[in-house]
Amino acid sequence: MTIYLGLDGGGTGCRAAAQRPDGTYTDVMVGGPANIFSGGEAALRNIYETACQAVRASAPSIAIETLKPQVVAVLGLAGAVEVNAGERIKQMLGFGAVHVVGDVEAALNGAFQSQNGVMSAIGTGTVHASKLNGAMKRVGGYGFLLGDEGGGAWMGRALLSRALHVRDGLIESSDLTREIWREMGDLATMLTFARMAAPAEFAAFAPRIIAAGEAGDTVATTIISDAALWVHQSIDSLQTQDVPMPVAFTGGLGPFFAKRLADRWPIKKPIGSALDGALWMARHLI
């Protein structure tokens, strides 16, 4: 018999599920952070434990060492491809077949499976990818310091930057920038925040920027327009066919940009998640 295993892992946690030989699926097993690039040995342990939980759940009456050779696994992992961790993960798991792919590839296959299309994942950061006749192309996803244009953290940083522009007399203030200065209090506080804050803390400003933009705030509307332009350009760069491929927006800010850019391309609801994509790859591509 063959047990198909899918695992999706990133900085906030990992999820795994297995398809039993009878075609049914296990519950989704949830584990700790699994970004190999930043999480090191702890991430590897979380991956191992979560994957093994899903395998055990597929056939509880059989010892896991007996099950392992029968497992075909695809793991979509943030950071694993970048640090060439695939071989180490294969040896650690000891399954019959293990294929390690990036988290973006797993998410893209979850969104479209065998279909062609473009995925635009917009949350704290951004990454865009297309699938055309089985081939993947990617744009962005380089992190907060060097990229993630249009994402929540990028928008939050843009807001603080424009608040400084207001202070220097370069642009007019708005209700939102006045709010920011009331909260920050002074320049030293703002600069300290900017130096110490994680991307998620910058991204916490994004809902306020969107709400202010919808109310007509001039600074917020400029930030939103700039963000939408980056997203639009990234998706357009992946649209290489005469007939535009459908676009699936994912991530916390995905629905906002899907609505804003709905007249540009056909918008498609993702078929499934990154975990679904890993399972689909295990069943169909390997």
Q: Which domains does the chain have, with CATH numbers?
A: 3-115+272-284 (3.30.420.40), 116-269 (3.30.420.40)
Token pair 């294969």 is at which residue? 90
Answer for the pair 237, 139: CB distance below 8 angstroms, yes or no: yes
Token pair 């097993």 is at which residue? 29
Token pair 């009456």 is at which residue? 61
Q: What angle do CA 260, 264, 265 make, to 5 degrees?
A: 115
pLDDT at 268 over 60: yes
Token pair 């060097």 is at which residue? 146
Give the predicted TM-score (pTM) of the model: 0.83
What pLDDT band is residue 175 in, cutting at 50, 70 and 90? very high
Mean model confidence pLDDT for the chain = 90
Considering only CA atoms, which of 11, 6, 13, 16 is closest in space to residue 37?
11
pLDDT at 286 over 70: no
Please state, as a whole number, how many other Cβ atoms lie within 10 Å of the Cβ of residue 49: 14
> Which residues, other chains included, contact 281 with Cβ-Cβ below 8 Å and sequence gap of 6+?
6, 74, 99, 101, 106, 109
Per-residue pLDDT, 44: 84
